[in-house]
Amino acid sequence: MLSTVQCTAAFVGERKGVNKYYPPDYDPSKGSLNKWIGQHPLRDRARKIHKGILVIRFEMPYNIWCNGCNNHIGMGVRYNAEKSKVGNYYTTPIYKFRMKCHLCDNYFEIQTDPKNHDYVILEGARRKEQRWDPKENEQIVPEDKGTQKKLATDPMYKLEHGSDDQYRGKSSVPSIAQIEDMRDAWQDDYILNRLARNKFREEKKQIIAKSSSR
């Protein structure tokens, strides 16, 4: 059980972590403490705020190659990036991020692409292509926004679309012959070999027993 002194020390230590220091000459009528000191609440991160630039912690959205040192930079690597607004896609802001490579003196810029839900490299790097066509891999391809909107507003199109989906689902079901072919391809040869070896050992023991009894 903690003593009174230990409890008081813990309480004071916790308050130190969250409280701010107010100088004796601070006047609350002049505004917040940051305004009275003359600094931005984000401090050094807002040193270029007058240019519309804010320093943030940016995480690399995909694998890239740096054009300066040709080194690979993996997805998830974090940088202190200068964030600035460069336009709009309808009502969605488009942001640009400028950051320095941690392996050389090269800078690269990446911009958001709200239309395609992606990021675009403007300069200083190139994307490591690891994308593929879902149709080639027989994956489920989500409907685009135009199709989704038409499904929600056009009952006849929704009915036709559902019929097409049912037809494609039935055509993709494997037949009995295909299932048998797949079963033969996945047959476990190890079990068959083990049974054959066991049978061979038993016959060999019987032969040795007969020869020794003569």
Instruction: Please report, for the chain, the start and end positions of each structural domain, with discontinuous segments joined by +.
Output: 40-127, 145-213
pTM exceeds 0.75 for this model: no
Residue 209, classed as helix, strand or coil, is helix
**Higher per-residue confidence, 71 vs 192:** 71
Phi, psi of 115 (to 5 degrees): -60, -40
pLDDT confidence band for 137 (50 / 70 / 90): low
Say if residue 10's pLDDT is above 50.
no
Q: Would you state the pLDDT for residue 138?
A: 63
What value does the mean pLDDT of the chain take?
78
Token pair, residue 100, equals: 């320095």
Q: Would you state the pLDDT for residue 5?
A: 44
Cα–Cα distance between 144 and 134 in angstroms, integer?
14
Supply the DSSP symbol for 40.
Answer: -
**Higher per-residue confidence, 62 vs 165:** 62
Token pair, residue 102, equals: 């941690």
Range 85-109 average pLDDT: 93
pLDDT digits (tens, 9 = 90+) for 179-193: 666 666 666 677 778
Cα–Cα distance between 35 and 24 in angstroms, integer?
16
Range 83-105 average pLDDT: 92
Residue 42, classed as helix, strand or coil, is coil
pLDDT confidence band for 119 (50 / 70 / 90): very high
Beta-strand runs (E) in the chain:
53-59, 64-66, 72-73, 78-89, 92-100, 107-113, 118-123, 125-127
Q: Would you state the pLDDT for residue 6?
A: 46
Say if residue 1's pLDDT is above 60.
no
